[in-house]
Amino acid sequence: MNRSMNHQISRVVCCLLIMVAGTLAASADDASATSATTNTTPTTTTTTNASTNAVDTGAASTNDASAISSTTNTTPTTTTTTNASINAVDTGTASTNDASAISSTTNTTPTITTTTNESTNVVETAAAGSIPTAPSPAVAYQPFSLAAEAGTTGLGGTAGWRFADHFGLDGGMDYFSFTLNRTISGIPYSAHLRMMSENAGLNLYPWKDHSFHISLGAYFNQNRLTGTATSDGTLTVNGFLVPAGQSVKLEYQQQPVDPYVSIGGNVYFDKARHFSMGTELGAFYLGNPRVSVTNPSGTVPQSDLNTYQQQAQHDLKKLPVWPVLKISFCYSF
């Protein structure tokens, strides 16, 4: 009986030893696991580096634990992780790891700064490129001008100099001649009119940016009208009958220096105001014209010629001024 009891006790002790041994083995396994977890710092660094490399290459990590470890140890690897995030953003690769995405989101401050700088540079570049070049100021006038003109004083040309904003000088000459039939104080003449004159004047410009001007000056007048009336047997001078075949001559000359006034302006064809068309409207005063009447054959009494001459001069003075109307084509420089 004692032997049987000893045998049972031995079996119980063996079972207890086996249980203790199993417990110790389990504790040893737990201790090993704990030791592995405790010593994750070097491993974390390695994993972090691997994660960083994965981010640099644009690959997404599928290991949540590594991602968590990477997120946990972002303090010593902030620079590396930041660079990795920037590289990931630059390459446009999206990570499929939630934890990595959170880490990237956490370290977006440098990325935002970079983006902000890029935006600033773009804005500054666009602003610099969009600044328009200031246009050159418009030309108010060209100081010198040459013009070809035609009008009631004949055909000719004019030269001008605008020496100030409101003042200028000009001078020119005109010439033209033609024949006409004209009856003067009852006697019909076959006449020849020569228009020849020179002018010089001062131009006043009320507005410095406009070509409109008022001109005051003088005409040096050599206009002359000569006419011949040949008698057909019915021509009379102050009641005296001129024999057929004889003639009466008349010469009319205007005052040699005549004051004038006019207004004018130009229409320009280009912005630089080089080419233009000008107009002038005015008149010059004729004063006292000189009229002479002669009879080459000498058959008409001088008293009759003098009386007729006074009558002709009176009639011609009815036109006290000579109209000035000109159109010109001008080049200014």
pLDDT in the model for residue 146? 97
Residue 237 pLDDT greater than 60, yes or no: yes
SS3 58: coil
SS3 74: coil
Q: 15-29, 112-126, 234-248, 250-264: lowest mean pLDDT where?
A: 112-126
Domain boundary assignment for the chain:
1-36, 39-128, 144-332
Contact (CB, 8 A) for 227 and 294: no
Q: Got the DSSP string for 117-177?
A: HHHHHHHHHHHHHHPPPPPPPPP---SEEEEEEEETTEEEEEEEE--SSSEEEEEEEEEEE
CB proximity list for 62: less than 8 A, separation 6 or greater: 96, 97
Domain boundaries 144-332, corresponding CATH code = 2.40.160.170
pLDDT in the model for residue 19? 64
Q: pLDDT confidence of 210, banded at 50, 70, 90? A: very high
Packing angle of the helix pair 98-106, 64-72 (nearest 10 deg)? 20
How many whole angstroms separate alpha carbon 52 and alpha carbon 151? 94
Contact (CB, 8 A) for 62 and 97: yes
How many whole angstroms separate alpha carbon 290 and alpha carbon 196? 16
**Amino acid residing at 53:** N
The single-letter DSSP state of residue 59 is: P
Among 206, 222, 110, smallest CA distance to 166 is for 206
Contact (CB, 8 A) for 105 and 137: no
Q: What angle do CA 110, 115, 116 make, to 5 degrees?
A: 95
How many whole angstroms separate alpha carbon 227 and alpha carbon 19? 162
Among 188, 193, 190, 180, smallest CA distance to 242 is for 188
Residue 109 pLDDT greater than 60, yes or no: no
- Phi, psi values for residue 151, rounded to 5°: 180, -160
- Average pLDDT of 116-125? 38
Residue, of 106 and 320, whose pLDDT is higher:
320
The first and second tokens of residue 117, run together, are 């700088």
Q: pLDDT confidence of 105, banded at 50, 70, 90? A: very low
pLDDT tens digit sequence for 240-250: 999 999 999 99
pLDDT tens digit sequence for 284-310: 999 888 999 999 999 999 999 999 999
pTM value? Answer: 0.57
CB neighbourhood size of 14 (10 A): 10
Residue 280 pLDDT greater than 70, yes or no: yes
What does each C-alpha distance from 37 to 65, 74, 104, 196 come to in angstroms? 12, 19, 26, 122
